[in-house]
Amino acid sequence: MNIKTLIGIGIVALLVIYGINVNNSLVEKQEAVNQAWAQVENQYQRRADLVPNLVNTVKGAADFEQETLTDVIEARSRATSIQLNAQDLDNPQMMQQFQQAQQQLSGALSRLMVTVERYPELKANQNFRDLQTQLEGTENRIATERQRFNEVVQSYNTDIRKFPTSLFAGALGFDDKAYFEAEESASEVPEVNFN
């Protein structure tokens, strides 16, 4: 064999080894995204599991607004009907549908909590207070897991766009993952009225 052939074989071997290394690195990053997503789903499921208990406790207040409870039940149904698996994370439209359903449930729960303020006997109910505390804790965990998810997605998306990794990432089927975006209402300044 001549020297040009050996150099050619060496270059091809280096490219193959580099490609394998890139693939393995991106698989690790992709699995980190999947794991972070599983934690987000876990917290959303925890919240969905609390809703029936909360609704049943609130139903005990005989004159409680049924429309508010119906809104919560329907929002929970929509939120749990949209399943987003790890393979769907690179589909921004599916991510947006999932986020909208979760935001609707958050909004319905917020309206429920505001309405509860008019029912002192319900606020005094220990079971309700316990559920409210659990729900608040779950909302905090959801926010934390969403932040972690976005951090892992940012790391993954950055890696697949860096040169020369980007040359291999597309060919190996690694696509950008969608971020969680802030809720539309997050940019609105709440009106505070002390009158």
The three-state DSSP-derived secondary structure of the chain is CCHHHHHHHHHHHHHHHHHHHHHHHHHHHHHHHHHHHHHHHHHHHHHHHHHHHHHHHHHCCCCCCHHHHHHHHHHHHHHHHCCCCHHHHHCHHHHHHHHHHHHHHHHHHHHHHHHHCCCHHHHCCHHHHHHHHHHHHHHHHHHHHHHHHHHHHHHHHHHHHCCCHHHHHHHCCCCCCCCCCCCHHHHCCCCCCCC
> What are the residue boundaries of the structural domains of the chain, listed by start?
26-180
Q: What kind of architecture, by CATH, is found in domain 26-180?
A: Up-down Bundle (1.20)
Name residue, tokens 């997605």. 153
Find the mean pLDDT for residues 186-190.
Answer: 47
C-alpha to C-alpha distance for 40 and 145, rounded to whole angstroms: 5
Task: Tell me which amino acid residue 103 is.
Answer: Q
105 with 76: CB under 8 angstroms? yes
Percent of the chain with pLDDT over 90: 42
Q: What is the pLDDT of residue 190?
A: 45
| pLDDT band at residue 187 using 50, 70 and 90 as cut-offs | very low
pTM reported for the whole predicted model: 0.79
Residue-wise pLDDT tens digits, 23-77: 999 999 999 999 999 999 999 999 999 988 888 888 776 566 778 888 888 999 9
